[in-house]
Chains A and B, each alone.
Chain A
Amino acid sequence: MIKLKIDDREITANSEMTILEAASLAGIEIPAMCHNSDAGHFASCMVCIVRERNGTALIPSCSARVREGMDIVTGDRDIEEARKTALELLLSEHTGDCEAPCRIACPANMDIPLMNSFLAGGMPDRALEVVMRDIAMPSVLGRICPAPCEGACHRKNIDSPVSVCVLKRFAGDAGHPDIAPAPASSTSSATDNNKKIADSSSHPAGRTSPRPVGGKEGTNISASRAGHLTAPPAGGKTVAIIGAGIAGLSAAYYLQKAGLACTIYDNNPEPGGALRYEIDDERLDRETLDRETGMIIGTGARFVPSAAIDKNRFIELVYSSDAVVVATGNLSAETADWGLDHNGKQLLVNKNSLQTSIPNVFAAGNITRSSKLAIRSAAQGKEVAFSIMQFLGGHEPIGEPKLFNSRVGRLRDTEYGVYMTNISREKRIGPSGKDGGFTPEEVVREASRCMHCECLKPDSCTLRILAGRYGASQRRFGFEERKPVRRSFDHEHLVYESGKCIKCGICVRLSAKNGEDPGLTFIGRGYDVEIAVPFEESLDRALKNAGPEIARACPTGALSMKPDKTGMSKPGPLKTDE
């Protein structure tokens, strides 16, 4: 046994240990990516670098052994900067979309590909559940949304985008929403389809990660978007929402789902705001609007119609409620007088948390911005719910955590084939159902057109997790044209996307260890090195037994499991990320 110091802590360690192991034993987490104890040390990604107190060289802690008298620093400014650089260098050659571009284009960040999977699989209830994680009023938006998602759809380059908006409308119209508040619990639980709550800390807890990627505070981190709002903070909290437009209603929905008691005030007799009083019936029929506003009120929120909120009433609400959401649409002369900072047109709010100049007052919807986009207001309604949860939990409100996204940008002609493998080649379907909606049969056909651009490891990819944590930018070293997108589906259980490979060789070593013949190998060297099957044989032949183990060990989405066990060679309909 030898003695050393890590971050000024005296540690006794076995001399065979690596610095990473010794640190971990002492509860000091060092981020690592290419490290895999089954595959043996290799030291490739260089994210786990640390430094000796008086040295300049950065040492890969995953491979370097402890030495008597070492004095290790695991994170100072230089180290953090170098880690960020290492991540950015890897990202600069990382070819892949973490999320499908449609989802990124969606202001509400709705998981469109997953919705499509369920719709293509004939499961509108589950599709609706996916939609309503992010969009509280799918039928309404399915009619009025200008669908920025469709503008971003990669399929647009090949023929025409997937008809996302009308698909969402179908989900909203045909699915049965589950509006019951989630069971109260004070800690994260796996009850809600594996999505966990935000624990309202600055490092939101997610699922337990299989690898040692823990943060400095010892919390395990995950790329998962802080989960969804399912559990209330200490019970009995109340929120006053001023304005029953789409922003206020959306906020009410997510807060109610989380177990908070919301009261919605509106100066009109009926809820809906601009949806009801500005948009004409042709575009948005009253029946649909009534159904969805009713659904939200039906979660148990109290609606106070024709409520005139003057300055005094407002101040009263600020004092009597735990939090207030201002979602009145325009900044009227009266609202401007409430004592909140504003610029004459909008309220001034923190961009991420939507917090106003009064700490327990938040704002959402058109009153915070000049653009008038219903989906953005709906998104803010959801985001403000995140902030309020965090605020009421005693934490700094930061809104919905933003994840890192790698993006491929525009597809090249030569890549269409990769994307279209096993995908419906049918042209975009014009809806023939009632009032311009799809028939159930059309929905299956149209949803099957989705190319599933999303990564198969959006939540467990270590590169994504760490890129998010270090605020890495994919563009910093974007000097070269990106490498081509490649996806190989020829293995029964695996998908191989070489553009996402970080060349750590875990798969090469595990395939050799498992006696796979021919297995995998490095081809070439330096910048152009790639992982491939020797003699250009198929992946199916290369990995006969160890495929799943190797896919799990791959730190990125380069090697991942096909999404289901039916042998479908494309993602969907059921995503099982882990």
Chain B
Amino acid sequence: MQGNDILNDIDNIVSLSGRDKSAVIAILQAIQNRYNYLPREALKRVCETTSITPAEITGVASFYSQFRFEPAGKHIIKVCAGTACHVKGAMLVHDAMARYMKLDPGQVTDRERMFTLEKVSCLGCCTLAPVVQIDDVTYGHVSANTASSVLKDFLARGGGGKAKKKSGTFGGQLQGEVRVGLGSCCVASGSADIKEAVEESVNRNRIKINIKQVGCVGMCHQVPLVEVITSRNGTTEQKLYAKVDPADIKPIIDRHFQPPSLLTRMKNSIMELAANIQSDDNWEGVERYSIDVREEQVASFLGSQMPIATEHRGVLDPLDLEDYIARGGFRGLKRAIAMKPGEIIEQVKTSGLRGRGGAGFPTGVKWETTASQPGEKVLICNGDEGDPGAFMDRMLLESYPFRVIEGMVIAAKAVDAHEGIFYIRAEYPLAVKRIRSAIEISMEKGLLGENILESGFSFNVRIKEGAGAFVCGEETALIESIEGKRGFPRLRPPFPAVSGLWGKPTLVNNTETFAMVPWILDKGGNEFAAIGTSKSRGTKVFALAGKIRRGGLIEVPMGISVRDIVENIGGGMTGDKKFKAVQIGGPSGGCVPHYLADTPVDFESLLEAGAMMGSGGLVVLDSGDCMVDMARYFLSFTQNESCGKCTFCRVGTRRMLNILDRLCSGKAKAAELAELETLAHQVKQGSLCGLGKTAPNPVLSTLKYFRGEYEAHLEGRCPTGKCKDLITYYVDDECIGCTICAQKCPVDAIAFRPHEKHEIDPGLCTACDICRESCPEGAVKIR
């Protein structure tokens, strides 16, 4: 790296990003994009050429977890540590990766600087758990045993990234439509390849069909999804294919859209498909694509749902404005534009809409407070969804960008704001891309920007990308972040509605809240209020994941029971284990045990049950999940995400985690359990912001319902066999002496003895689970 080059680079970056203090995060992101870390001379140059001081740039850069101060490897491996991945063994995967890369403790980049290993709080592909992302290639259902295959596969693919082919256009009558899901889960599971295969197949067969990319369908457990709509002789037929492999595309296309002359070829193709099913997916168990399921549209999955924020799911092309408008989009805005601000607020108040970010504050009241303040107002869309195990905001931003924008414009009109900001989490590049395009398109069409719908009302929005800090989901920390500071929450009051960004009255609403607004304005507040329960009106979007058959993004009326979600929408449990509890609300929430499964899902009932709506992560746990481990998992998340401002959160959550660690390793004494509880209450009462105030919830709720498990850990027992330090692996008599376990064991804890019963040396065993997973006879057991 030449000194002058870097200075020129930085000067360019600065001239593009701006020179005032609020540009600091954007500048840092641009520098890291360029160099893959933050070289010190680059930072010094920024300080020389902007109003940003060394103290500020260092403070900000070291606050956000996105930034690196050391060069990283050529490829970044992100092991998802979200809730769904965690319960399915993400840590074992992480450890296996580290072992394979020969990393020393504390080291993250291998010696050849090929890979850097990172844990990320959630990739938002919960239904593919455990998930590993290498650069832009995502691998689902990875296990400790297959971790090395993932790396090999990645390298074999030449480091990802393929050339794009253009699809041609052909004459003749439109025969139908092929819809390919392009939500993040779908993309992660390979839908881009699918789309390419469709285009290729269509080109080859010279048939005329519409290839449409659609937003998230919600059935993330079945991705990648391909829906084929054929229209012949006036009848339309719809067929949904799940977990499709690019190799399946040709037979699928041939089946539905056969050129008449190629009838026989079609038959052959179907034979081909059958052959594929037999042979294709024995690839070391990594289900990057698998083709084991072919099913009709799943009625029960969608049956109890009620799409409002996700209306027209699986149909809308996210960036097709005409499509959105044709299906009623921007009708709400048109109505709102004709109304007085007070009337809009009245509709929202009538609807009973409450903030979907977690706390459930009445949206209409917030709008009214903001509207009543003097001076210029600002509007912020909070898309900093950091909850591990939640991906509603991401899906809404990716799949319904126009709806969110419409909701924001309506809100802007209601509170008389002319400036708006999308604050979107850094880990959501696709969402940023879509919103950026949607903003451009909306501006072109006069739906955003100056003189909206020729009403004289103007509202401009811009995007601020987060940089990896869960606490920035808290509205005051988010505001600090937009101002270019460390994400330290401010003490409330004053609330942002009174004094927020740059001291201006600021309306901060969650993405989902905004996504509800167009429907309310279109259909009327009463219509919305008719859905749900008396205090929690309307619908709620959840990210459903965990040990159920069907996971994904769901939107249900408030008041639906936990049981209904688990059994009907989720399709019951996978495997042979029993339903134990649902974890609702992620690190701020708690558990609802199986015996309270009839609890209605609404703000009050969940609080009463010791859980919390939170942002809407819903992870289903089975009898194999250790509740102490769950509490520890969430605490380690919040502890790691604490901003470090107030003592109770900064040190208190760490000490709670210490006790949980000691419980999980069998070292805790009885008094520590009482101490954990006392401390949990004090952290809840004494923390400054929502992060700290809710951090103890996962502990308190599991203590409430599963105290017995905590007590077992005091005695050195983990009843579910999840806690590594409290279990022993052993081989039973079913062992056939195949030696696979001995070959796979990374620490040589199993002696190689062909045709004899193998034994595990407990002194060497690290409980990595590889032997148990790889044993063809199921002879490796846990005690």
Within B475-499, the residues touching A (CB, 8 Å) are: 486-487, 491, 493
Asked if residues B658 and A527 are in contact (CB atoms below 8 Å), the reply is: no
Residues in A with CB closer than 8 Å to B648 are: 46, 85-86, 89
Question: Is A529 an interface residue when CB atoms closer than 8 A count as contact?
Answer: yes
Distance (whole angstroms) from the CB of B714 to the closest CB of chain A: 15
Say whether, besides A82-B682, A82-B686, A89-B648, A525 and B55 are in contact (CB < 8 Å): no
Within B197-251, the residues touching A (CB, 8 Å) are: none
Asked if residues A512 and B59 are in contact (CB atoms below 8 Å), the reply is: no
Q: Which listed residue (A49, A517, A523, A527) contacts B59, Cβ 8 A? A: A523
Question: Is A355 an interface residue when CB atoms closer than 8 A count as contact?
Answer: no
Within B692-748, the residues touching A (CB, 8 Å) are: 693
Contact with A along B641-670 (1 / 0, CB 8 A): 111111110111111001100100000000
Asked if residues A85 and B679 are in contact (CB atoms below 8 Å), the reply is: yes
Asked if residues A57 and B685 are in contact (CB atoms below 8 Å), the reply is: yes
Distance between Cα atoms of A213 and B103 in the complex (Å): 50
Asked if residues B639 and A527 are in contact (CB atoms below 8 Å), the reply is: yes
Q: Which listed residue (B54, B55, B642, B647) contacts A44, Cβ 8 A? A: B647
Distance between Cα atoms of A479 and B54 in the complex (Å): 35
Contact with B along A511-554 (1 / 0, CB 8 A): 11000011111111111110000110000000000000000000
Contact with A along B626-645 (1 / 0, CB 8 A): 00000000000001111111
Residues in A with CB closer than 8 Å to B62 are: 522-525
Distance between Cα atoms of A480 and B661 in the complex (Å): 11
Question: Is A93 an interface residue when CB atoms closer than 8 A count as contact?
Answer: yes
Distance (whole angstroms) from the CB of A531 to the closest CB of chain B: 10
Residues in A with CB closer than 8 Å to B686 are: 46, 49, 58, 82, 85-86
Asked if residues B645 and A44 are in contact (CB atoms below 8 Å), the reply is: yes
Asked if residues A512 and B53 are in contact (CB atoms below 8 Å), the reply is: yes
Question: Is B527 an interface residue when CB atoms closer than 8 A count as contact?
Answer: no
Asked if residues B647 and A89 are in contact (CB atoms below 8 Å), the reply is: yes
Within A53-72, the residues touching B (CB, 8 Å) are: 56-58, 60, 63-65, 67
Query: A45 — nearest CB in chain B belongs to which residue?
Result: B647
Within B37-88, the residues touching A (CB, 8 Å) are: 40, 43-44, 53-59, 62-63
Question: Is A81 an interface residue when CB atoms closer than 8 A count as contact?
Answer: yes
Query: B494 — nearest CB in chain A belongs to which residue?
Result: A65
Distance between Cα atoms of A134 and B644 in the complex (Å): 42
Residues in B with CB closer than 8 Å to A480 are: 654, 658
Question: Is B688 an interface residue when CB atoms closer than 8 A count as contact?
Answer: yes
B55, B644, B659 interface centre (most CB from chain A within 10 Å):
B55
Question: Is B432 an interface residue when CB atoms closer than 8 A count as contact?
Answer: no
Asked if residues A525 and B685 are in contact (CB atoms below 8 Å), the reply is: no
Question: Is B558 an interface residue when CB atoms closer than 8 A count as contact?
Answer: no
Asked if residues B58 and A521 are in contact (CB atoms below 8 Å), the reply is: yes
Question: Is B469 an interface residue when CB atoms closer than 8 A count as contact?
Answer: yes
Query: B686 — nearest CB in chain A belongs to which residue?
Result: A58
Q: Which listed residue (B486, B651, B662, B685) contacts A522, Cβ 8 A? A: B486
Say whether, besides A43-B491, A86-B647, A477-B658, A522 and B59 are in contact (CB < 8 Å): yes
Q: Which listed residue (B639, B646, B682) contacts A81, Cβ 8 A? A: B682
Asked if residues B651 and A535 are in contact (CB atoms below 8 Å), the reply is: no
Distance between Cα atoms of A458 and B662 in the complex (Å): 34
Asked if residues A525 and B647 are in contact (CB atoms below 8 Å), the reply is: no
Number of interface residues of A (CB under 8 A): 49
Asked if residues B640 and A526 are in contact (CB atoms below 8 Å), the reply is: yes
Distance between Cα atoms of A502 and B63 in the complex (Å): 17
Residues in B with CB closer than 8 Å to A518 are: 53-55
Distance between Cα atoms of A463 and B491 in the complex (Å): 23
Distance between Cα atoms of A42 and B485 in the complex (Å): 14
Asked if residues B491 and A64 are in contact (CB atoms below 8 Å), the reply is: yes
Residues in B with CB closer than 8 Å to A139 are: none
Contact with A along B163-174 (1 / 0, CB 8 A): 000000000000
Query: B56 — nearest CB in chain A belongs to which residue?
Result: A521
Residues in B with CB closer than 8 Å to A527 are: 639, 642, 644, 650-651, 653-654
Question: Is A90 an interface residue when CB atoms closer than 8 A count as contact?
Answer: yes
Question: Is A41 an interface residue when CB atoms closer than 8 A count as contact?
Answer: yes
Distance between Cα atoms of A352 and B140 in the complex (Å): 67
Residues in B with CB closer than 8 Å to A503 are: 644, 650
Query: A90 — nearest CB in chain B belongs to which residue?
Result: B647
Say whether, besides A90-B647, A477-B655, A527-B650, A43 and B688 are in contact (CB < 8 Å): yes
Distance between Cα atoms of A526 and B682 in the complex (Å): 18
Query: A512 — nearest CB in chain B belongs to which residue?
Result: B55
Residues in A with CB closer than 8 Å to B645 are: 42-44
Residues in A with CB closer than 8 Å to B469 are: 525
Question: Is A508 an interface residue when CB atoms closer than 8 A count as contact?
Answer: yes
Within A183-219, the residues touching B (CB, 8 Å) are: none
Distance (whole angstroms) from the CB of B757 to the closest CB of chain A: 41
Distance (whole angstroms) from the CB of A20 to the closest CB of chain B: 13
Residues in A with CB closer than 8 Å to B43 are: 535
Asked if residues A520 and B644 are in contact (CB atoms below 8 Å), the reply is: no
Residues in B with CB closer than 8 Å to A44 are: 645-647
Q: Which listed residue (B40, B44, B493, B641) contacts A526, Cβ 8 A? A: B641
A480, A524, A526, A535 interface centre (most CB from chain B within 10 Å):
A526
Asked if residues A517 and B54 are in contact (CB atoms below 8 Å), the reply is: yes
Q: Which listed residue (A41, A60, A479, A529) contacts B644, Cβ 8 A? A: A529
Question: Is A92 an interface residue when CB atoms closer than 8 A count as contact?
Answer: yes
Say whether, besides A89-B655, A90-B651, A519-B53, A82 and B685 are in contact (CB < 8 Å): yes
Distance between Cα atoms of A169 and B340 in the complex (Å): 91
Distance (whole angstroms) from the CB of A490 to the closest CB of chain B: 17
Residues in B with CB closer than 8 Å to A64 are: 491
Residues in B with CB closer than 8 Å to A86 are: 647-648, 686
Distance (whole angstroms) from the CB of B39 to the closest CB of chain A: 12
Residues in B with CB closer than 8 Å to A476 are: 675
Query: A56 — nearest CB in chain B belongs to which residue?
Result: B685
Asked if residues B655 and A508 are in contact (CB atoms below 8 Å), the reply is: no
Asked if residues A479 and B659 are in contact (CB atoms below 8 Å), the reply is: yes
Residues in A with CB closer than 8 Å to B643 are: 525-526
Distance (whole angstroms) from the CB of A541 to the closest CB of chain B: 11
Asked if residues B486 and A534 are in contact (CB atoms below 8 Å), the reply is: no
Distance (whole angstroms) from the CB of B628 to the closest CB of chain A: 16
Query: A93 — nearest CB in chain B belongs to which residue?
Result: B651
Asked if residues B55 and A508 are in contact (CB atoms below 8 Å), the reply is: yes
Distance between Cα atoms of A56 and B645 in the complex (Å): 21
Query: A527 — nearest CB in chain B belongs to which residue?
Result: B654
Residues in B with CB closer than 8 Å to A49 are: 686
Residues in A with CB closer than 8 Å to B491 are: 41, 43, 60, 63-64
Asked if residues B54 and A534 are in contact (CB atoms below 8 Å), the reply is: yes
Distance between Cα atoms of A81 and B681 in the complex (Å): 11
Asked if residues B53 and A479 are in contact (CB atoms below 8 Å), the reply is: no
Residues in A with CB closer than 8 Å to B682 are: 81-82, 85
Distance between Cα atoms of A566 and B450 in the complex (Å): 67
A58, A477, A479 interface centre (most CB from chain B within 10 Å):
A479
Contact with A along B130-165 (1 / 0, CB 8 A): 000000000000000000000000000000000000
Q: Which listed residue (B40, B54, B647, B693) contacts A521, Cβ 8 A? A: B54
Q: List 27 A-B contacts (CB under 8 A).
A: A43-B688, A46-B646, A46-B647, A60-B646, A60-B688, A65-B493, A67-B493, A78-B685, A85-B652, A86-B647, A90-B647, A477-B651, A479-B655, A479-B662, A518-B53, A521-B58, A522-B59, A523-B59, A525-B469, A525-B487, A525-B643, A526-B639, A526-B642, A527-B654, A529-B644, A529-B650, A534-B58
Nearest 6 Cβ contacts at the A-B interface: A479-B658, A534-B54, A529-B644, A521-B55, A518-B54, A89-B651
- A residues contacting B by CB (< 8 A) are 41-47, 49, 56-58, 60, 63-65, 67, 78, 81-82, 85-86, 89-90, 92-93, 476-477, 479-480, 502-503, 508, 511-512, 517-529, 534-535
Known: A480-B658, A524-B644, A534-B59. 14 other contacts (CB 8 A): A43-B645, A46-B646, A46-B647, A63-B491, A85-B682, A86-B647, A89-B647, A89-B648, A90-B651, A92-B651, A519-B55, A520-B55, A521-B54, A525-B642
- B residues contacting A by CB (< 8 A) are 40, 43-44, 53-59, 62-63, 469, 486-487, 491, 493, 639-648, 650-655, 658-659, 662, 675, 678-679, 682, 685-686, 688, 693
